[in-house]
Amino acid sequence: MICPNCGSNISDGRKRCERCGMDLSLYRKIIYASNQYYNNGLAKAKVRDLSGAITALRNSLELNKLNTNARNLLGLVYFEMGETVAALSEWVISKHLQPEDNNAEEYISRVQSNPTKLEYQNQAIKRYNTALNYAKRKSDDLAVIQLKKVISLNPHFIRAYQLLSLLYMKSGENDKAERMLAKAAKIDVSNNTTLRYRKELEVPAALKDSDNNSEATNSTTSSIMPVSSYKEDKPNIMAFVNLVVGVIIGIAVTAFLIIPSIDKKHNMNDNLNYIDYSSGLAIQEEKDKTIKDLQQKNTDLQDQVNKLQKEVDSFATPEDSNAIYNPLFEAVDRYMTEMTKTNAKDRDYTGIAEILATIDEDKYESETSIALLKRLQQEVYPTAAQIHYDLGHNLYSSAKYEESLAEFAKSMTYDPTNVNPVYFTARAYHRLKDYDNAALYYNRVLSDYPGSRRERNAKDFLAQVQSAVE
Q: What is the pLDDT of residues 337-365, one digit of tens each?
A: 877 777 777 888 888 888 888 887 777 76
pLDDT: which is higher, 327 or 215:
327
The dihedral formed by the CA atoms of 42, 45, 50 and 55, expressed in degrees to the nearest 10: -10
Percent pLDDT > 90 in the chain is 18
Distances (CA, A) of 398 to 132, 371, 395: 59, 41, 5
What is the tens place of the pLDDT at every residue in 151-210?
888 888 888 998 999 999 988 899 999 999 999 899 988 888 889 988 888 854 345 444
- pLDDT over 60 at 281, yes or no: no
Element (H, E) at 109: helix 104-112
Give the chain's mean pLDDT.
Answer: 78
State pLDDT tens for residues 121-145. Answer: 888 888 889 989 988 988 888 989 9
Cα angle for residues 371, 377, 378 (degrees, 5° grid): 90
Residue 30 has pLDDT above 50, yes or no: yes
As a whole number, mean pLDDT of residues 9-15 equals: 64
| pLDDT reported for residue 228 | 36
Q: Are 144 and 154 in contact (CB under 8 A)?
A: no
User: Roughly what angle, to the nearest 10 degrees, separates helices 158-170 and 140-153?
Assistant: 150
Strand, coil or helix: 231: coil
Choose from 6-10, 18-22, 44-48 the range with maximum mean pLDDT. 44-48
pLDDT on residue 336? 80
Cα–Cα distance list, 211 to 207, 222, 345 (Å): 6, 16, 80
Computed from CA positions of residues 351, 353, 358, 364, in that sequence, does the dihedral angle turn out positive or negative? positive
In this prediction, residue 219 has a pLDDT band, given cuts at 50, 70 and 90, of: very low
Of 14-18, 132-136, 423-427, least confident by mean pLDDT is 14-18
Q: Which residues pair with 2 in a beta bridge?
A: 9
* pLDDT above 70 (res 49): yes
Confidence of residue 14 (pLDDT cuts 50, 70, 90): low
- Tell which wins on pLDDT, 174 or 290: 174
Between CA 258 and CA 263 the distance in angstroms is 9
Task: At 9, give phi and psi (nearest 5°).
Answer: -75, 140
Residues with Cβ < 8 Å from 163, sequence gap 6 or more?
A: 128, 131, 132, 135, 143, 147
Q: Which of 58-62, 63-67, 437-441 has the lowest mean pLDDT?
A: 63-67
CB 60 within 8 A of CB 38: yes
221-256 tens-digit pLDDT: 333 334 333 333 444 555 555 665 566 666 665 656
Which residue type sits at 152? S
The pLDDT of residue 234: 44
The reported pLDDT for the residue numbered 74 is 92
pTM listed for this prediction: 0.45
Q: What is the mean pLDDT of residues 411-432?
A: 92
Whole-angstrom distance between the N-terminal and C-terminal Cα of the chain? 37
Residue 178 vs residues 95, 128, 182, 356: alpha-carbon distances, Å? 40, 20, 6, 83
3-state DSSP: the chain helix, strand, coil percent, rounded to 5? Answer: 75, 0, 20
Whether the CA torsion 117, 121, 122, 126 is positive or negative: it is positive
Average pLDDT of span 82-101: 87
Proportion of the chain above pLDDT 70, given as a percent: 71
pLDDT of residue 253: 58
Confidence band (pLDDT; 50, 70, 90) for 406?
very high
